[in-house]
């Protein structure tokens, strides 16, 4: 991976959102990805750049939030059945309000809490397959698959939307720090 200075211009940027029920770990997923940090005392947020807190009272705000999104992490907590049961709701909201052909990734978060698991990995995979979505289990707490989830979703977005610009795209910036060259194979593991 390469690093890019903050003041360099970008040829292209993509809007990716995180949605799902409250306390599924959306804020900590962002924190782990951007700063490699986890806050066990994270408060429920309504940060329009990243997180709708999973509360239906914010739906009018979140519908605007979906506009022009080309991808989404639809997050559920593997230890919380209600959070999994609301996936269909969040998936449908994304499909209704996001850009056409937008790429959803279902994220089963908190895989570090295996002993408290209520939703099997197979259940999450089945939901994703039935809805033609990507799938991954993550842990914002220990960092499991956080980077990988962003890389996979970003590459899918690139492959889907690369023809929407007449500028060649040589790399994809995942944050102000990380660049992926989608044309180069990534070593395994």
- Averages of pLDDT over runs of 10 residues in the chain (189 residues) are 47 82 90 86 53 54 74 96 95 90 96 97 98 97 95 90 61 45 44
Whole domain around residue 161: which residue ranges? 15-168
Kindly give, in sequence order, each residue whose CB lies less than 8 Å from that of residue 142, ignoring residues fewer than 6 positions away: 38, 112
Kindly give, in sequence order, each residue whose CB lies less than 8 Å from that of residue 3, ignoring residues fewer than 6 positions away: 177, 178, 179
Place of tokens 């690139």: 158
CATH number at 115 reads 3.40.50.300
For residue 22, tell me if it sits in a domain.
yes
pLDDT given at position 116: 97
CA separation, residue 39 to residues 20, 21, 93, 111 (Å): 19, 18, 28, 16
For residue 92, tell me if it sits in a domain.
yes
Number of domains in the chain: 1
For residue 175, tell me if it sits in a domain.
no
For residues 83 and 158, what is the distance between their CA atoms, to the nearest angstrom? 29
pLDDT given at position 56: 57
């Amino acid at each position: 991976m390469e690093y890019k200075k903050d003041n360099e211009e970008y040829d292209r940027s993509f809007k990716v959102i995180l949605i799902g029920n409250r306390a599924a770990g959306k804020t900590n997923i962002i924190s782990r990805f951007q700063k490699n940090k986890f806050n066990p005392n994270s408060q429920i947020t309504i940060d329009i750049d990243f997180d709708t807190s999973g509360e239906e009272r914010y739906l009018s705000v979140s519908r605007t939030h979906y506009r022009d999104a080309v991808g989404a992490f639809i997050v559920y907590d593997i230890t919380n059945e209600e959070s999994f049961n609301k996936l269909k709701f969040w998936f449908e909201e994304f499909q209704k309000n996001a850009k056409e052909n937008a790429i959803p990734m279902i994220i089963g978060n908190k895989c570090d809490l295996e002993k408290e698991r209520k939703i099997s990995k197979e259940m999450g995979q089945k939901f994703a397959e039935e809805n033609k979505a990507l799938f991954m289990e993550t842990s914002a707490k220990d960092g499991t698959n956080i980077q990988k989830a962003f890389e996979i979703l970003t590459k899918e977005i690139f492959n889907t939307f690369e023809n929407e610009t007449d500028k060649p795209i040589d790399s994809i910036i995942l944050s102000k720090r990380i660049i992926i060259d989608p044309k180069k194979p990534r070593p395994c593991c």
